[in-house]
Amino acid sequence: MGQVLLILFYLLTPFVILHLCHRFPFVNKLGAVFIAYLVGLVAGNVGILQVWAQKIQETITTITIPLAIPLLLFSANIKQWKNMAGKALIALIIGIISITLIVIIGYFLFNGMSLQDLWKISGMLIGVYTGGTPNLASLKIMLKVDPDIYILTHTYDMVVSTVYLAFLMTLGKRFFSLFLPKFSNEQMEEIEYTNGSDPFWGIFRREVFFPLLKAYGITIIIFVIAGGLSMLFPKNSQVVVVILTITTLSIVASTFKQINSIEKTFESGMYLILIFSIVVASMADISRFAGLTPGLFGYITLAVFGSLLLQIFLGKIFKIDVDTTIITSTALICSPPFVPVVAAAINNRRVILTGITAGIIGYAVGNYLGFAVAEILKNMS
């Protein structure tokens, strides 16, 4: 009975969290992912979970991310990526290069400062700052990151990213304008886009829910194909093969209109991410956090603000305008849902499409790039 209740707790708590976010604006401002981690930490550290809970936790974490990745990527459309304006594409490349270089530099600066498995942390930072939380979670599994390190890394990430976002929305444009040219592309398409504050609303409507079942069916097929392909590789490489195969097949699937046009696939994937977040947080031991913190906050701060400064420097060389630089950086560091919010803050809705496209590309490449950098740093240690 206890095992059934625990499974139900993990599966249904995100629904309660999303309902609270819908009902109370102050809860929504905290963010569903943050609340999920908080709930998981409390549940895992008050002494109510039994020894048998570990098997359930491992099973859920193993399943949720491979199922979430296709749902998150189905709404992407690789055919549209080639339509990015020249300056926007350069800004995206500059952003990814800046993040990668600063994370690598930070690795050598902070290596040896009692940071456990720093190469794994570096890979996760590449993933989360080119993509987002889904990439962070995927790399956690691919690199076999300790739950305590994962939770602490993500906690610091949320703190630093909040400061970063506040800076962009207040002083950012004024500061960037000291170095970068003004936005002048009047031909860039302007689109309507909601702020994403309640994207889960209406997911159970008949016209939405039944097509979603088809998306879940395709997701399971992709999962099975990836699992079968992984059997051809050594056991210690199978998880990596599964994640990268699922990512690749999901991107291919997103090019088909019948799949790409299904509503709420991204939100369905994020629900699985919330389940994963609660489970992983409940596996973390708060009493161990003190031994993991030296230098980590500094490394994450360097990754965020160091990459921002490098992006400004390179943007000046390539004459990228201030608004495009800000929105691209937002999409990479904070993920696409924050793009409309920042676009409104800098009073330029014309860059929304650029930001969203950049963020979606970031989701797609984050797993590959994060894993590659982690392996390179591991072999250099």
Q: What share of the chain is helix, strand, coil (3-state, %, to 5)?
A: 75, 0, 25
Conformational region of residue 201, where left means phi above 0, alpha means psi within -120 to 50, and beta covers everything else: beta
Band (pLDDT 50/70/90 cuts) for residue 376 is very high
Asked whether the beta carbons of 244 and 2 are under 8 A apart, the reply is no
Structure tokens at 115: 């940071």
Q: What is the pLDDT of residue 218?
A: 95
If 0-12 CB within 10 Å is exposed, 13-18 middle and 19+ buried, where does residue 316 land?
A: middle
Supply the mean pLDDT for the chain.
84
In tens, the pLDDT along 153-185 reads 988 888 888 889 888 888 888 998 999 998 875
What is the CB neighbour count within 10 angstroms for residue 344? 14
Band (pLDDT 50/70/90 cuts) for residue 84 is low
Residue 196: is its pLDDT beyond 60? Answer: no
DSSP, collapsed to helix, strand or coil, labels residue 185 as coil
Band (pLDDT 50/70/90 cuts) for residue 291 is low
Share of the chain above pLDDT 70, in %: 90
User: How far, in Å, CA of 201 to CA of 336, rounded?
Assistant: 18
DSSP string computed for 43-82:
HHHTT---TTHHHHHHHHHHHHHHHHHHHHHTT--HHHHT
**Phi and psi torsions of 82, nearest 5°:** -70, -15
What is the CB neighbour count within 10 angstroms for residue 149? 22
Residue with tokens 């701060």: 301
DSSP, collapsed to helix, strand or coil, labels residue 198 as coil
How many Å separate Cα 127 from the centre of its chain? 7
User: How far, in Å, CA of 117 to CA of 297, rounded?
Assistant: 15
Domain count, the chain: 1
User: How far, in Å, CA of 108 to CA of 110, rounded?
Assistant: 6
Band (pLDDT 50/70/90 cuts) for residue 85 is low
Residue 264: is its pLDDT beyond 90? Answer: no
b/e for 42-72, b at 16 or more Cβ within 10 A? ebbeeeebeeebeebbeebbeebbbbbbbbb
Least confident of 92-106, 110-124, 218-232, 302-316: 110-124
Q: What is the pLDDT of residue 310?
A: 96
Type of residue numbered 255: T
Give the pLDDT mean for 284-290.
Answer: 66
Asked whether the beta carbons of 250 and 197 are under 8 A apart, the reply is no
Domain extent for 144: 2-380
Structure tokens at 36: 């999920």
Rg of the chain over Cα atoms, rounded to whole angstroms, equals 20
Band (pLDDT 50/70/90 cuts) for residue 79 is low
